[in-house]
A = this chain, B = another copy of it.
């Protein structure tokens, strides 16, 4: 097994344990045990628990950023409206949370356990992600496609709703990640579209 494969394996196992029991309740010894390793042997690959978390958080953030960029790039090619672009972003985000709840719980919750520069770096990436969502909502409002609303509140409302999928969704249930993503995109567009009641 290459060093890289081993390192990735450590991250996958740690990610599952963090998701199931939380970062604070998971020890380096728990991670070693799940890999059938001695703690000392694990330390030849990683310098500590926060080091593993940081690698996992980086990877999770990268996946969400790539998914967002892809949704936006596809919308650009289609010449879509801001409303379509928002739907595409929500669809991609919801699909990723439903398909990979561990990734989502790391990006949404467990990053809080990082400290110092690592924490500052992930906060900046999370803020940049949310800023993209706000910008699309603001574009849609400016173009008259979305109702005038409090952009920051609307973005928080939508992102919380979509991130919540990680807390209840089961792929064994009646909805596929794609079905769910479609419904979430619909609810979002309605919530932000001009009110005709």
Contacts and interface: CB of A to CB of B under 8 A. Distances in A.
A195 interface: yes
A4 to B, nearest CB: 31
A77 interface: no
B187 A149 contact: yes
Contact of A164 (B147, B160, B168, B175): B160
A144 B10 CA distance: 53
Nearest to A180: B153
Contacts of A196: 196
A193 B188 contact: no
A187 B157 contact: yes
Given A149-B186, A163-B164, 17 more contacts: A22-B24, A24-B24, A153-B180, A153-B183, A153-B184, A154-B187, A156-B168, A157-B164, A157-B184, A159-B164, A160-B161, A160-B168, A164-B164, A187-B191, A190-B190, A190-B192, A190-B195
Nearest to A108: B167
Contact of A188 (B147, B168, B186, B191): B191
Q: Is the interface of A mostly helix, strand, loop or mixed?
A: helix
A161 B192 CA distance: 14
A59 to B, nearest CB: 22
A93 to B, nearest CB: 13
Contacts of A5: none
A135 B187 CA distance: 18
A52 B149 CA distance: 42
Nearest to A160: B164
Contacts of A161: 157-158, 160-161, 164
